[in-house]
Amino acid sequence: MPSTVHTETRSCWVVTDGSAGMENQCIGLAETMGFDPTIKRIQTKKPWKWLPPYLWINPLSQLLGAGDNLNAPWPDLLITCGRQAIPMSVAIKRASAGKTFTVHIQTPNTNATNFDLVVVPDHDKLRGKNVLVSHGSLTRITNEKLKAEARKFEKDLKDITAPVVTVLVGGSNRCYDITPQVMRDLCQKLKDLHDQSSCFFLVTTSRRTGAENENILKEALRELPHILWSGGENNPYFAFLDKADHVIVTADSVNMVCEACTAGKQVLIYELSGGNRKFRHFHEKMKSLSHTKPFTGKLEKWTPPKLSETERIAALIIEKHL
């Protein structure tokens, strides 16, 4: 872990629209820097939420009461991610008379100089003096967090048997379409894998998986030793990563791939048709660095290097800017 700033006397906010993939990156960076951040989940009014940041008038007054308000005293450090948080970051910087240090994660749809720092994955094109580039996305994964989460689910996981294969199932997005046919193919490969290895499956789905795909998955897993989490309280995601000997991840999620690689696991990618330049660059880079291999229906064995990008980026910010 990098040397931390004097967080006992400095405040940090994380501001997003509450999307888990965005929020976790911000929290992960804050925690790695030694902060216990205040989490702000915002909702913005129409029509402002659809407009580019430079057209917003008085952004801090365009928040819906269903979300969190943003009021002084302003934080020493503000970490944001996502379109809705961009005008808020700019407004807080102005309201604090420049005292709030602003970090935005992912390429913003505004000039990067509106922030003190921007952190982008290397499959994005943005570069500049105030831009830090990471291999993939940032995460909240640490060995301590994984072990702590595994202890919470100790009773539920006491009967699992090796080898343990954790399966992280995403869903359709703008680049990939996980259809029922695709899900059936994945399920058949999981059945074949169990026939070869007698593995135990720990499986999670996402909000994008969809009811029809979940039902196909549940039906296929019924014949196999498994634990499935498909929503609700007490998410065992981190515990499933901790227990895994291998992790299979659908190719639609950069975040899930990076989380599994940060956990130091042997990560197999269930490849999908589609994608775009960014996804192709990301997956090729992860394969070239031996972080991942394609999932072909069997378990590959190798010693992958552990992905430690959150620690590296946190250290750079502390060393050069705070």
Query: Please, what sign has the CA dihedral across residues 279, 283, 288, 289?
Result: positive
301 inside domain: no
Q: Residue 3: what pLDDT?
A: 53
Co-location of 171 and 69 in the same domain = no
How far is residue 191's CA from residue 194's CA, in Å, rounded to a whole number?
5
Nearest Cα neighbor of 222 from 194, 242, 243, 249 is 194
| CATH code of residue 107 | 3.40.50
Mean pLDDT score, 130-139: 95
46 inside domain: yes
Q: Residue 1: what pLDDT?
A: 47
CA distance between the termini of the chain: 16
Encode pLDDT of 160-208 as tens digits.
999 999 999 999 999 999 999 999 999 999 999 999 999 999 999 998 9
55 inside domain: yes
Encode pLDDT of 276-310 as tens digits.
999 999 999 999 999 999 999 999 999 999 999 99
Mean pLDDT score, 263-281: 94
User: To the nearest whole percent, how much of the chain has pLDDT over 70?
Assistant: 97
> What is the residue type of 59?
P
Cis peptide leading into 47, omega within 30 of 0? Answer: yes
- The whole domain housing 250 covers 143-294
How many CB atoms lie under 10 A from the CB of residue 165? 25
> What is the residue type of 169?
V
Co-location of 216 and 118 in the same domain = no
